[in-house]
Every structure is written in C-alpha cells, then in structure tokens.
Amino acid sequence: MKNILLVCAAGMSTSLLVNKMKAAAENKEEDIQIQATSGGELNKYIESADVLLLGPQVSYLQKDYKSRYADMNIPIEVISNTDYGTMNGEKVLQQALELTSE
C-alpha cells in the first residue's frame, strides 16, 4: 500500500483534491491511501506516509520539513500551482506515485 499525505494551511482546501485523487486512484491496480492534514497535525500522520505533498500556499514549509524528516527518507514536494488550482487529481496522483517509485 502507498500512503500519500497532503498538507495545506488548515487541511481543508486539499479535501476536494484528495477526493479527485481517490477517484483517479480507483483506476490503478495499486492499493493507495490518500489523506490531507494541516501542518499542525502533520506529526500524527507522518510515520505512515510514503510521500508528502505540500499545497502551494505552504510551500515555504518544504525546507523545514525536508530537514525535520530527513531521517525518514520521505519525498517532500510542492504541488504545482496549476495542478492545485485546477484540482487535477490525476496529475497530483501521478506526481505522488512517481516520487514513491524513485
């Protein structure tokens, strides 16, 4: 199973994107879990994450998270403004899966 974790400021704006990603994941043969959280709640979920994607509005946290979670070897990347703004679940899912296969 692949666990994809999305982080945004309040954990709310990514909920629609998570739903679109889950819909796109239904067509995949892999078992994929996708969830969203706020930065303040991240520690509750980070242990089970295979990849961490940040909403563009919290991209400033990327450097801190990469440093804080370096020993966990979790890819931490920012979702593009375009994919986030258009809620392109397929593209964001593809980004996450590519990061977990590296």
Rg (CA), the chain: 12
Decide if 17 is catalytic: no
Residue 30 near residue 4, CB atoms below 8 Å: no
The H-or-E segment that residue 82 falls in is helix 81-85
One of 4, 5, 7, 8 is an active-site residue; which one? 8
Cα separation, 24 vs 81, in Å, equals: 19
Cα separation, 62 vs 84, in Å, equals: 16
Any idea which residues carry the catalytic annotation?
8
